[in-house]
Amino acid sequence: MMKYTPLWLTIFLLLTGNNLSAQPIATFTLTNHGNTVGVPVYVDLDPLTYVTDSSLTLIEITAGKNIPVPFQIEHGYHRFLWWLITNEDAGSNGIRKYKLEQKEHPTDIKQAVTVVDDSNALIIKENGKNVLQYNYKTHYPPAGVDTAFKRSGFIHPLWSPSGNILTQINPRDHRHHMGIWNPWTDVLFQGKMVDFWNLGDKKGTVRFEHFIAKESGAVWGGFKALQQHIALPDATSPAEKTAMNEVWDVRVYNVGDKMWLWDFTSTLNCAGNDSVLLKEYRYGGFGFRATADWNNKNSKVLTSEGKTRKEADASTARWCMIDGDMQRGHSGILFMSYPANYNFPEPMRVWPEDMNGRGDVFFSFSPTRNTDWLLTPGKSYVLKYRMLVFDNTITPQQAEQTWQSFAHPPAIVISKK
């Protein structure tokens, strides 16, 4: 006995090509910047669809082909759909087109960037290779050194793709240097000066408090952590006081194993009803103490304004690139500042070529180098930085191109189906 197919179902099957599982939701069109590294982008899903995460598929339309694209959905006040723009399969004239579909059986998406907790630190890995380590348990200095130099809430090691370690902690010349960290130096709080940077002065410190989030994914992996800037007791104040709360948002993007691309965002606010004045000082804020491998003979500095190590200190820049010879060849890091940061383009602290007699390397974006910064209760203050870590070298043109993609990501034109 032959089965009867209703006319409406026959027409529907013809129109959909017998594909009942894929339903178009939206099309995204943008212009590729030609960035050779890769550019993370996102759209807000809430105005587009309430379809569950597991029923979504992202496809790039290029050269007449539909290519599945790894994506990741971030949950917060809104749902954000993240993916990476690369130069592979670029459309004509750099125009890229993607379609978001509802699909019944989406392809399983690999978590390329993972966050591993070893009970002392978080290690972020990209495709199994170490990228950076965030130390949340208290680290003590070497035996015989004053325990005032203990610290939590800092990044070390920062690895290059080949495995070189670009950071160091507790060096003999500056025991308070902690890889990559973000304290402030001359701070006026409740009528007294507090120093959260120079731990040996025993006036202040910064401590990890707790994690807000940890996430692994196909596009990025990272964490959010609350840190507290603590004014330590003295003769007039026998109890510790929290002056500022700070949230670190650190994200490593899956741009491949040739380079690392990662973001550091610091959100500061007053912990109580007292304002905090970050006073003008030659360093403070986002700091980087480089590997002991580097000196004035085998490393170099270049800023977005074309300044080298000889003249970079106290100048302002959009980005600063530092690279040098290491145990495994040559590696470096590009530091990029976001245009919305306080006092952008930011002043920098770059150690002179004769530091410690050998030219040890230290770098800091220091927005309070030439001006005060008043933080008032009830407001949040955000500083955003992006880092590109590489082996061998990159050109100044590549550095500028990467900064442009950070500061001015591609505009996405959305066509809702």
Q: Are residues 194 and 45 in the same domain?
A: no
Answer whether residue 413 is part of any domain: no
Q: Are residues 139 and 86 in the same domain?
A: no
357 in helix, strand or coil? helix
Answer whether residue 14 is part of any domain: no
Query: How many domains is the chain built from?
Result: 2
Answer whether residue 310 is part of any domain: yes
Alpha carbons 219 and 242: distance in angstroms, whole number? 35
- Average pLDDT value for residue range 9-19: 42
Domain with 153 in it: what CATH number?
Answer: 2.70.98
- Count other Cβ atoms within 10 Å, centred on residue 46: 11
Does pTM top 0.85 for this prediction?
A: yes
Answer whether residue 8 is part of any domain: no
Q: Are residues 382 and 299 in the same domain?
A: yes
Structural domain boundaries, residue 40? 19-108
Q: Are residues 76 and 172 in the same domain?
A: no
Alpha carbons 228 and 406: distance in angstroms, whole number? 28
pLDDT on residue 106 = 53
Q: Are residues 93 and 120 in the same domain?
A: no
Strand ranges of the sheet holding 276-278, from the earlier edge strand across to the other edge: 192-194, 187-189, 276-278, 373-375
Answer whether residue 119 is part of any domain: yes
Answer whether residue 278 is part of any domain: yes
Q: Are residues 266 and 217 in the same domain?
A: yes
Question: Does residue 19 surpass a pLDDT of 60?
Answer: no
Domain with 104 in it: what CATH number?
Answer: 2.60.40
Q: Are residues 52 and 152 in the same domain?
A: no
Alpha carbons 75 and 5: distance in angstroms, whole number? 43
Q: Are residues 157 and 293 in the same domain?
A: yes
Tokens of 65: 């082909």
Q: Are residues 129 and 24 in the same domain?
A: no
Name 387's bridge partners.
262, 335
> What backbone torsions phi and psi does residue 201 show, to the nearest 5 degrees?
-75, -15
Answer whether residue 2 is part of any domain: no
Q: Are residues 307 and 211 in the same domain?
A: yes
pLDDT bin (cut points 50, 70, 90) of residue 36 is confident
| Local structure of residue 344 (DSSP, 8 states) | S
Q: Write down the mean pLDDT value for the chain.
A: 92
Question: Last residue of a domain, which of 83, 108, 133?
Answer: 108
Are 210 and 245 contacting, i.e. CB atoms less than 8 angstroms apart?
no
pLDDT bin (cut points 50, 70, 90) of residue 40 is very high
Q: Are residues 194 and 283 in the same domain?
A: yes
pLDDT 10s digits, 127-163: 999 999 999 999 999 999 999 999 999 999 999 999 9
Contacts of 143 (CB under 8 A, 6+ apart): none
Alpha carbons 312 and 392: distance in angstroms, whole number? 22
Q: Are residues 58 and 179 in the same domain?
A: no
Torsion angle of alpha carbons 57, 406, 261, 352, nearest 10°? 180
pLDDT 10s digits, 352-396: 999 999 999 999 999 999 999 999 999 999 999 999 999 999 999
